[in-house]
Structure 1
Amino acid sequence: MSGAGPRPALLLAHGAGGSLAAGYGPVMDELSARYGVIGVDCPGTGDTPRATGPLELDDLADRLTAAADAQGAERFAVSGFSSGGAVAIRLAARHPERVTAMVLTAPFARADAQVRLTARVWRSLIAAGDTLGRFLMAHRLSPAALEAMGAEELETAAKATGGGVPVGSPEHVELVERRDVTADLTRTTAPTLVVSPVDGAQIPPRLHRAVAAGVRGARPVEIPGGHLPFAEHPARWAALLTSEEE
């Protein structure tokens, strides 16, 4: 966890099967230069113990709010990546007086049939090592990024990806299948930017657009690349997260 300090506070909600370090590490220097960054790894990720039962969205939102309280941050902006977008939305709907702004990257309010099927395959492959790595890379990286890698590099990356999955991933992915924040969208009043990677396969852009359409006044912006902007376009993403780019 990072502390807020005297600068404006920014809460970070990472995605399923990831962590703060994996999702925000490549842009943390830029964020920390502008904000007091506050984040909590989900159960079974980083130093957070694995859950003993199914995860609940309200609990994840409460954990992030508690982290802000512990750092003395009364008001804060929130960045939610992928399934972390639902955490951000739920938090903003429950505490509208505290949230000053949101940046939601590749978000979805609820998993449609395609995303649910993808999540179920993901869960079934969690113990499958290289096969899981190939599956995740195929869904997370853009065609251009994959084509730029040679065959040996692809296999090495797949092995690293499949072997680096947090122990809490089964619970993370199971929550992806069932959580639904559609009703929270209209209760979200903070200025909101929705960042949509145009080649995102894991969470298709149509779902990003649905979130932007559901939040009053939300501004959608497209960026190139696949589901992982921190891997393909970190400078572009950091500029959006720090409001340096329109």
Structure 2
Amino acid sequence: MGEYVEANGTTIWTESRGQGPDVLLIAGLSDPAEAWQAQLDGLSDRYRVITFDNRGSGRTPLPDGPLSVAMMADDAAELLRVLRVDKAHVAGFSGGSAIAQELVLRHPEAVSSLVLMSTWARADAYFTAVTRFWHWLVTEAPDERAMLEAFFLWIYTPRAHVDGMVQRFIDETLAFPYPQSAEAFQRQLEPFTRHDTLDRLSRITAPTLVLAGDQDMVTPPRLGRVVADAIPDACFEVMVGEAHQPFQESPDAFNARVDAFWREIDGGTLPS
């Protein structure tokens, strides 16, 4: 069920499904709440699964003035408060993992555990070059379909291009009634490129699972390893054969792994 919620000075679209321990899913660059459809469908039989449109994505408006990862993290914290969620398991992917890092650093009391998918702590030269390309791609591509075809080369595995999954995602994106403007894409991209928590990650005390796809070109395992090494007692795992968004390409495997992690936390034992 979706609804608009007033939080942190803006109107945020949020989806909530199921009952059980609270889970907050944070999407990445450009993606609306629907990016987590396989988790809304696959995990809501045992969790209350909450997700939302970040500022500038989907139905949540782009604010005037500067946009920052910290601002989006405060949005998430305030959203939980408005929904009367004292504490949640938090999972974020890509840009959403940057938001999740800031959320647990700024509002540690709101986070039961942390899953960081396709994450990084500080942009390196390759990551920065890729995001510079994306910045001009969104305005210089001949049309939106061409832009998505180019952009998704970095996001999905070759098999997803071969088996038609990518074309299905492109068709769904083009048919989505709340398209993201080029300006919103660029303004979201900029704070994610500037994201830097490397010197603060050691403050995180929430149990943390860091996941990386071994075929991810944008946030490869070496970047996720840096994050896991910096967070005390974090668990780091590489998903073999996966790229940037395995929660969409291989949702059963992703859902099973995070479910096992959350069950360990809720059962009172730390993940091994």
Would the TM-score normalized by the shorter structure come out above 0.5?
yes
Of 220, 234, 239, which aligns to 2:251?
234
CA distance in 1 between partners of 2:59 and 2:44 (Å): 21
For 2:138, what is the secondary structure of its paired residue?
A: coil
Gap change, CA 1:159 and 1:97, over 3 Å in 2: closer
Structure (1 or 2) with the greater strand fraction: 2
1:39-82: CA deviation from partner (whole Å, max 9, x where unpaired): 33111212101222331111111110111101111111100111
Structure 1 residue runs of 5 or longer lacking an equivalent are: none
Of 205, 230, 240, which aligns to 1:189?
205
One-letter amino acid of the counterpart of residue 225, structure 1? E
CA distance in 1 between partners of 2:98 and 2:170 (Å): 29
CA distance in 2 between partners of 1:174 and 1:42 (Å): 14
How far the C-alpha of 1:161 sits from its partner, in A, is 7.9
Partner of 1:74: 86
CA distance in 2 between partners of 1:45 and 1:242 (Å): 27
Partner of 1:143: 158
Of 2, 25, 28, which aligns to 1:12?
25
1:172-218: CA deviation from partner (whole Å, max 9, x where unpaired): 11112212111231111111011111111122221111111111111
Of 85, 99, 104, which aligns to 2:111?
99
Structure 2 residue runs of 5 or longer lacking an equivalent are: 1-13, 264-270
Work out the percentage of aligned pairs sharing the same amino acid.
31
Q: What is the TM-score with the length of structure 1 in the denominator?
A: 0.88
Gap change, CA 1:158 and 1:239, over 3 Å in 2: closer
One-letter amino acid of the counterpart of residue 149, structure 2? R
- Contact kept in structure 2, 1:125 and 1:131, CA below 8 Å: no
For 2:92, what is the secondary structure of its paired residue?
A: strand
CA RMSD of aligned residues (A): 2.4
Q: What is the TM-score with the length of structure 2 in the denominator?
A: 0.80
CA distance in 2 between partners of 1:21 and 1:83 (Å): 15
One-letter amino acid of the counterpart of residue 205, structure 1? P
Gap change, CA 1:147 and 1:60, over 3 Å in 2: same
Equivalenced residue count is 241
Partner of 1:166: 180
Instruction: Report the more deviating stretch, 188-197 or 229-238.
Output: 229-238
Instruction: Report which structure shows greater RCO (CA 8 Å, sep ≥6).
Output: 1
Gap change, CA 1:230 and 1:6, over 3 Å in 2: closer
